[in-house]
Chain A
Amino acid sequence: MKKFLVLQIGALVLVSGALGGLVAVTPVYDEVRSGIVLVLCLSCLKLEPNTLANFTFQTADNQSHAGFVLENLSQGPVFLHYSGDACAGCDVMYPVIKDLFSIEFGKQDMFSSIVAFENTSVPYIYVNIHHTIDELRNAQPIYDKDHVGGIPMFTIVTLGYDNGDVKPKYTTLYGTLATYGCDTDAQRLVFLQQLLRQSIEMYNQNKEGYHHH
Chain B
Amino acid sequence: MKLQIKRLISQILLFFSANLGYPGYPGLKTGFCYPFFYCQACPAATSACPLRALEQSVDKGSFAWRLFFFPLLIIGTLGILTGRAVCAWACPIGLLQRGTGRVARKVKKTPLARKLGSHKAEKYLRYTKYVLLMSLVFVTSYLIGFIFTDICPVGFLTGTIPVLILNPGKFVPNFFFPVALVIFVLFLILIFIIERGWCRYFCPVGALLAPFNKISFLHIAVDIKNCIHCNVCSYECPMGIDIPNMHRDPECILCGKCVTACPNQLITFERKGR
Contacts and interface: CB of A to CB of B under 8 A. Distances in A.
Q: Do A and B bind each other?
A: yes
B274 interface: yes
Contact of B141 (A45, A86, A175): A86
Interface string A67-87: 000000000000000000110
Contacts of A42: 174
Contacts of A179: 172
Given A48-B173, A178-B172, A40 B41 contact: yes
B153 to A, nearest CB: 11
Nearest to A42: B174
A26 interface: yes
Contacts of B46: 37
A26 B70 CA distance: 10
Nearest to B56: A86
Contact of A30 (B31, B147, B163): B31
B74 interface: yes
Interface string B59-83: 1101010110110011011001100
A38 B27 CA distance: 11
Contact of B273 (A1, A31, A49): A1
Given A16-B77, A32-B48, A91-B145, A45 B32 contact: no
Interface stretch (A2-10, A158-166, A190-198, A201-209): A2-10
A34 B40 CA distance: 12
B160 interface: yes
Nearest to B47: A37
A4 B144 CA distance: 41
A190 to B, nearest CB: 20
Interface in A1-41: 1, 4-5, 7-8, 11-12, 15-16, 18-19, 22-23, 26-38, 40-41
B170 A15 contact: no
Interface residues of B, number: 61
Interface of B: 21, 29-33, 39-41, 45-49, 52-53, 55-56, 59-60, 62, 64, 66-67, 69-70, 73-74, 76-77, 80-81, 141, 145-147, 149-150, 152, 155-156, 159-160, 163-164, 169-177, 180, 215-217, 272-274
Given A37-B40, A41-B149, 15 more contacts: A8-B272, A12-B80, A15-B77, A22-B73, A28-B70, A30-B31, A31-B66, A32-B67, A33-B30, A45-B159, A45-B163, A46-B150, A46-B155, A107-B60, A146-B170
21 contacts: A4-B273, A5-B273, A8-B272, A11-B215, A15-B77, A18-B73, A22-B66, A32-B70, A33-B29, A36-B48, A38-B29, A46-B159, A46-B174, A46-B177, A47-B164, A47-B172, A48-B171, A50-B169, A50-B172, A88-B147, A178-B174
